[in-house]
Amino acid sequence: MTILLNSLEARDAAFVLHPYTNASQHLKDGPLVIARGEGIHIVDSEGNKYIEGLGGLFCASLGFSEQRLVDAATRQMKELPFYHSFGGKSHETAIELADRLIELSPVPMSKVFFANSGSEANDTAMKLVWYYHNAIGRPEKKKIISRMRAYHGVTIASASLTGLPNNHRDFDLPIARVLHTDCPEFYRYGQPGETEEEFATRCAESLERLILSEGPETIGAFFAEPLMASGGCIVPPPTYYEKIQAILKKYDVLLIADEVICGFGRLGTMFGSESFGLQPDMIVMAKQLSAAYQPISALMINEKIHSAIVSESEKIGTFGHGFTYSGHPVATAVALETLKIYQERDIVGHVQDVAPLFQRRLNDLSEHPLVGNARGRGLIGTLELVRNKETKEAFNPAHGIAIHAGRRAQAHGVITRALGDNYSLCPPLIITEGQINELFDRSTRALDDSYAWARASGLY
């Protein structure tokens, strides 16, 4: 039987399996086909223009039309379109990028390993935790602790670190040796009468109880996003990381900072670890590393980890890990040019300048009848939508309140993404104050529409 496919939308529905999409609904609705980008805006195939309110997927830091990145890719494609880094091979842009990342690191680091996505880099970090403890003669110290509502990727290993139910459900995850401790969101999990610092203490004490119950000799590492982005823009309370790191140090547990979203200016510092005083043994980065113009990620490791790799690979005869496209010349060239732009245009300083307006407009919406909590830092934030502001009662997930708000935002010219009951915003770092006001004006109209719909639908 021949199927006539007369449009991009029909061909997409026929042939493409979309990530993080209701596959059944997609067959009915089809895609929004994006044709081009202009600064912080994207334009669909019908000519409609939108503010990209989530920076693509927390990644398009320099917007969608940065010619210098196009030129960097073009030059590299002409000179050396591909080479690998297996067997001691290398090339100039990978060397220069690694050098620059070590220079930028918020804590002393020794080496950089390149991969292609945040998931791959976190997966690599997990393997190195196990490899490291084997190398130093502690083969039992292999369990890894993450947090509920954390997001660390979608490979079998990194999805196990992720603490979101839909990333585990029917995938037979998490795998063994991955544990989850408390989510440090005070709004949802703080107890009546408890201060934020008391809540931080309780989270730290819970982590210590988990370590002791499992046996400190079995706990190898703790993974943490400085700010938990995909879980709902969760900003840990004051003293949280200070107390957590004291416990990790007490039981000799490695700390891996997942900077896939927080890195490269998002929070108003080059790395999120600087914002929260983290002292990690490894740092994972991706997304804004190349402003999303090329797929690339990186894992920085300290000398303690590197020394163990050297000794163990000497014993085995190789370091048996890597990807075909690790340190791809075009991706590293684009990432290197991205870092140059960040420095030359003082992107971190720009974020510091415009973030107060972004956060003020975000916090002003906490007064909206649909919003229970507004939270964020730098140029990232979320509005948690609730059925009852006083009791914090959530909507029935089946009602899809944030999904509806996202659709209304799209109708008003803003692209965002429903993450649970959260209306999330994470625009390109180049956004101006005028564009921030436009983003929030349109978002306010979307929330007003959604509130009216919820009332008309009997959800209140």
Q: Which domains does the chain have, with CATH numbers?
A: 32-65+346-456 (3.90.1150.10), 69-344 (3.40.640.10)
User: What pLDDT was estimated at residue 414?
Assistant: 98
Question: What's the token pair of residue 126?
Answer: 């997990």
Place of tokens 């948690």: 384
**Residues 213, 417: contact at Cβ < 8 Å?**
no
- Beta strand residue intervals within 97-253, DSSP E: 111-115, 143-147, 178-181, 219-224
User: What pLDDT was estimated at residue 76?
Assistant: 98
pLDDT lower than 50: segments of the chain: 1-4
State the Cα–Cα distance between residues 314 and 49, nearest whole angstrom. Answer: 56
Number of alpha carbons in the 13 Å side-chain half-sphere of residue 364: 11
Q: Kind of pairing, strands 219-224 and 178-181?
A: unpaired
User: What pLDDT was estimated at residue 419?
Assistant: 87
What is the dihedral sign for C-alpha 11, 14, 18, 21?
positive
DSSP-based three-state secondary structure for 66: coil
The overall average pLDDT reported for the chain is: 96
State the Cα–Cα distance between residues 292 and 378, nearest whole angstrom. Answer: 19
**Residues 359, 380: contact at Cβ < 8 Å?**
no
Question: What's the token pair of residue 395?
Answer: 């909507």
Q: What is the pTM of this model?
A: 0.95
> What string of DSSP letters covers 379-427?
TEEEEEE-SBTTTTBPPPGGG-HHHHHHHHHHHTTEE-EEETTEEEE--
State the Cα–Cα distance between residues 320 and 73, nearest whole angstrom. Answer: 30
User: What pLDDT was estimated at residue 266?
Assistant: 98
State the Cα–Cα distance between residues 224 and 272, nearest whole angstrom. Answer: 11
